[in-house]
Amino acid sequence: MSLVTATPQVATGSEDGLSYGPRPAYLVNMLPEGALKEKLQSCAGQTPTRSSFSIGHRGAPLMFPEHTVQSNVAAAQMGAGILECDVTFTKDLELICRHAQDDLATTTNILTTDLAETCITPFTPASGNTPALAECRSSDLTLAEFRSLTPKMDSFDKTATTAAASQGGVAPWRSTQYVDGATSMTHAESIALFKSLGTKFTPELKSPAVEMPFNGFSLQDYAQKMIDEYKAAGIPPSDVWPQSFDLEVVKYWIEHEPEFGKQAVYLDGRYSGDSPLNPMDPDSFSPSMQELADMGVNYIAPPMWMLLTLENGQMVPSAYATKAKTAGLKLITWTLERSGPLTTGGGWYFQTVQPAIHDASGYYQVLDVLAQDVGIAGIFSDWPATVTYYANCMGF
């Protein structure tokens, strides 16, 4: 049965049926008095339209199991113009949508099924100060076995003493109300679904958890197969933004699939490692922004905090943002509404501007600086309606 025809009906290629829901107004009303609040309030009666500035991060996982049909339908209904499939592979080398090759213990019910025996790290109960553990990989399952699993909200109760209890642990600011009937997807099925929803595509080639080549399947084969599935579906390269944290993969696309490579996105993970990049110190950028541009990279995507800093208590672009723009790189960033309540500064995603973050209105304050001052081309969100409302109101 086709996932597309089995999906709740959403108007194909039109703006009919789009809805912001209550969240944007809730956040706008929390903003302090000023020009931003006045502008966003003035758009309260606007008709939602789809915006490529608004990117669904694994769909809409604030409330729906990530990388499911239902999560992506919800994101499309909120006006996200681009949807994401994180791509990994199964034992029989089929491409599927999964945030990581080794995330099945947290995103599916595998630990409570017979397939638990395939897990590379079987469930180990918590004991004293030692947390519960488990690791289960899609590369140890065939596609048919993967399809037999039930998606769930991404969570793992580290205090659990049984596999069944480990299925809990959902963050209190997320929801389990929309898990029933959640349907996982292959990468090819995500292409068909997103096309039917009238959106564009941003697949991320996930780093393998297994040594490559895997059963004769090289990293280059993997990168090529992902692109080949868009070509087989007749998707124009201009509608696809392929992503990778691996610069060598991005360079592979630029060299071997130049039409797709034009929009290849280098996900910048250089904030970690032995010599982490400092977003305020251009001397720590290796390669430099200009060197990336000279390689043919046109898009770079760091986490939000790398693009911002504080000056006199105000949020302003970081040196990283300034250097990227000077080199002609287009910026995409992640991830709005991935954090919980912002009353304590917003955590990891807001770390460079935490003193300026006081409550949930910080989402719109940060978004406004990123859009107006940094000049980002798009932003991933776990609840795309928030970004769509802003984009529609501000003309992005």
Q: What are the tens digits of pLDDT across the range 309-343?
A: 999 999 999 999 999 999 999 999 999 999 988 99
What is the per-residue pLDDT across 265-312, written as a single tens digit (0 to 9) for each? 999 999 998 999 999 999 999 999 999 999 999 999 999 999 999 999
Cα of 170 vs its chain's centroid, Å: 18
The DSSP secondary structure of 234-254, one letter per residue, reads: T--GGGB--EES-HHHHHHHH
Look up the pTM and report it: 0.95
In the structure, what pLDDT confidence band is assigned to residue 12 with cuts at 50, 70 and 90?
Answer: very low
In the structure, what pLDDT confidence band is assigned to residue 15 with cuts at 50, 70 and 90?
Answer: low
Identify the three-state secondary structure at position 77. Answer: helix
Instruction: Assess whether pLDDT exceeds 50 at residue 2.
Output: no
What is the per-residue pLDDT across 171-196, written as a single tens digit (0 to 9) for each? 999 999 999 999 999 999 999 999 99
Average pLDDT score over residue span 18-44? 98
Instruction: Assess whether pLDDT exceeds 60 at residue 4.
Output: no
Q: Which amino acid is at 324?
A: A
What is the per-residue pLDDT across 96-134, written as a single tens digit (0 to 9) for each? 999 999 999 999 999 999 999 999 999 999 999 999 999
> Which tokens go with 144?
């048919």
Distance CA 187, CA 26 (A): 35
Q: pLDDT at position 384, please? A: 98
Angle between helical axes of 187-197 and 69-77 (0-180°, round to 10)? 20
> Which tokens go with 312?
């006199």
Instruction: Assess whether pLDDT exceeds 70 at residue 139.
Output: yes
Instruction: Assess whether pLDDT exceeds 90 at residue 16.
Output: no
Residue with tokens 């300026």: 356
- Total Cβ atoms within 10 A of residue 327: 17
